[in-house]
Amino acid sequence: MIKKTVEFIALKQRFIIAAAVIFALLYPLLFSDLFILRMGTLCLMYIMLALGINLIMGYMGQMTFGHAAFWGIGAYTAAILSGRFGTNFIVDIIAAALVAGAFGFLLGLPVLKVKGYYLTIVTLGFGEIVRLVELNASGLTGGALGIRGISGIRLFAQEFTSPRAFYYAILILVVLTTVILMRINNSRYGLALKSIRDDDSAAEVMGVNVVRNKIMTFVISAMIAGVAGAFFAHYISYIDSTSFTTQASQEMCVMVILGGLGSIPGTMLGASVLTLVPEFIRGLAEYRMLIYGVIMVVMMLVRPQGLLGYTDFGLIRTRLLEERGKKKGGGENNGTTGTEG
Amino acid sequence: MEQQVLKVDHITQQFGGLSALKDINMELNRGEIVGVIGPNGAGKTTLFNVITGVYKPTKGMVFIDGKNGTGKKPFEITKMGFARTFQNIRLFPRMTILENVMMGAYCRTSANVFQIIADTPKKKKEHIRIRERALELLKMMGLYEYRYELPTSLPYGEQRRLEIARALATEPMVLLLDEPAAGMNDQETEDLRKIILMLKQEGYTILLIEHDMKFVMNICERIYVLDHGELIAQGKPEEVNSDPKVIEAYLGKDED
């Protein structure tokens, strides 16, 4: 039953992707309710964050509990720049990516020589340090008061503040992130990451510079989180350090763990479920962390790789098509492995 | 003309007070099949680890194709043309068999992260090239039909073959095989022997560590014998076979 469904999805994946994209494009037109639009926007932002963290957790197989720090760094960068210098959105995004990436690099230098639990603990510490700096460096970050009155999306000498504008902005960013991840997945870099995940010393013998690849992955992942942060700052228009806590980092991790390590659709599923479900069952809001805890434990026991973890729809598709090709006339189908999965 | 591809020059490897290798000298010429034998704990795998850069030797030098390879990182050694397999098979368990072999060709690709994200023609071409090469190697090793399976689904002997395919994908000049026949049954050992002879015909130089004396005697042109980290004998198989020091190392000393 599950196998059939997976095969069906794999075969129809182009159709499903097209349908999903069309739905995402029409979403703000179909639902005019502001709450629903806001949910869609936040959902996309969390998808972006989760995709970024999946690069570290799913592909490279390292655990990080400090990712909200990069999100926060991006948000503060954008807020400070646009507040003090009136920069436009593109500049904010690039600056946020560069600053978050630089912090990812600095964290990566000493840290990525350690692995496993040690790395996790250091990222946890890093997240806390960044949060405390944000809370106390009042001159720069506004301290406990945060930064308020952040502008909307400034672009082409205009300022867009409508919910629809924000929705489409984050949709574009999510599509870009997805494309980047797909390309990484289907490249020598993707191979290197997976080999580090599976056996890093064998990877090194195969010619992979493990430390360099790890640092690069941290930088890219941090940049994605930074851009999501820049969007967040403009969208919410008020930021303070309470958004970028360890709890936020953990929520991102849970999204990936629930949805599927190393799987793009899985990550999207996990992030969507965990953003939308708590909002629609408000009555259970107080039990949110309890539910997250239970999900983590159950997933670790039952399906540690997540719902769609390591399920490569592209591969399943190639396989099915080749099998069919053989049955038809023995013709060999050497199509490149799809990476949509 | 004989051409030297590996020279191990007075290598000593110490771990704390223990000398795993003492003043080892050996060389390897292009196109040869050379064996390293010795009882358990003789230092055979340590020697491999020194050659492939996993350990940095305490003393001595390693020359690879005339160039100094001492203290280089494993990935640099791989790039210089040395590929190895592991005594305890080390495939990438959650990558497909095809990806495992493609991983071997990793060191022969060069697209940087910007080219990858921009999906440039260079990157695409390169990725297709290593994929085709990997498929070719899988056909050669008789593993083609399992290409989308995970390596853990293969029987032991075929996992060994996959490891050799992965090593070949690095486009090596020298193959270092660490106990390739360990744990294999007679049929699998025979298949392996054929594969190694085929590789020799294709021009590969092979250095192998082995326990199975019969296998080594059959296949190697020259043999080095290690015991307690020292080189106790070297030469043609029949010479080594009758060397009293070798017999002593394997069977123990006569008590009278």
* 8-state DSSP, B71: T
Question: Does position A330 have pLDDT exceeding 50, yes or no?
Answer: no
Q: Do A184 and B73 touch (CB under 8 A)?
A: no
Give A202-249 pLDDT, tens digit per residue: 888 888 888 888 899 999 999 999 999 999 999 988 888 888 888 889
Residue A68, token pair as written in the block: 């909200």
Residue B255 has what pLDDT?
Answer: 56
Which of A47 and A141 is assigned the larger pLDDT? A47
User: Which of A205, A212, A215 to mutate to test binding with chain B, by most B CBs within 10 Å of its CB?
Assistant: A205
The answer to whether the Cβ–Cβ distance between B95 and A207 falls below 8 Å is: no
Strands B222-227, B230-235: parallel, antiparallel or unpaired by DSSP?
antiparallel
Of the pLDDT bands very low, low, confident and very high (cuts 50, 70, 90), residue A327 is low
Q: Is the pLDDT of residue A176 over 70?
A: yes
Element (H, E) at A154: strand A153-155
Does A296 have pLDDT greater than 80?
A: no
Which amino acid is residue B43, in one-letter code? G
Residue for token pair 């692995």 = A115
pLDDT at B254: 59
Summarize pLDDT for B86-107 with one digit per residue, the tens: 888 889 998 999 999 999 888 8
Per-residue pLDDT, A341 = 36
Indicate the class that CATH gives domain B4-81+172-251. alpha beta
A124-132 mean pLDDT:
90
Domains and CATH numbers, chain A: 31-310 (1.10.3470)
Residues of A in CB contact (< 8 Å) with B are 180, 183-184, 186-189, 191-192, 194-195, 197-199, 201-209, 216, 220, 310, 315, 318-319, 334, 336-337
- Predicted confidence (pLDDT) per residue in A46-102, tens digit: 999 999 999 998 888 888 888 999 999 999 999 999 888 888 889 999 999 999 999
Output the pLDDT for position A329. 52
Q: Is the ipTM of this complex over 0.85?
A: no
| A6-10, A259-263, A273-277, B1-5: least confident range | B1-5
Cβ–Cβ below 8 Å for B148 and A315: yes
Residue A102 dihedral angles phi and psi, to the nearest 5° = -65, -40
Does residue A340 surpass a pLDDT of 80? no
Q: What is the DSSP string of A158-196?
A: EEE-SHHHHHHHHHHHHHHHHHHHHHHHTSHHHHHHHHH
Amino acid letter, residue A268: M
**Cα distance between residue B121 and residue A235, in whole Å:** 37
Q: What confidence score (pLDDT) does residue A71 get?
A: 94
Residue A339 pLDDT greater than 70, yes or no: no
Mean pLDDT for A22-30 is 86
pLDDT at A335 over 50: no
Q: Which of B93, B106, B131 sits opposite A207 (nearest CB)?
A: B106
In this prediction, residues B191-196 reach a mean pLDDT of 89
Task: Tell whether the model's pLDDT for residue B180 goes beyond 90.
Answer: no
* 8 Å CB contact between A111 and A119: yes
Sheet arrangement for strand B59-64: B18-29, B4-15, B59-64, B67-68
**Mean pLDDT comparison of A115-124, A177-186, A196-205, B212-221, highest-scoring range:** A177-186
Check B113 against A216: CB less than 8 A apart. Answer: yes
Average pLDDT over chain B, rounded to whole? 86
Distance CA B168, CA B143 (A): 14
Beta-strand ranges (E) seen in chain B are 4-15, 18-29, 33-37, 59-64, 67-68, 82-84, 174-178, 205-209, 222-227, 230-235
Q: Output the average pLDDT for chain A.
A: 84
For residue A277, the model assigns a pLDDT of 80
Q: Which residue of B has its CA nearest to A182?
A: B117
For the residues of A257-286, what is the DSSP string, one character each? HHH-TT-HHHHHHHHHHHHHHHHHTGGGGG
Tokens coding A236:
């919410």
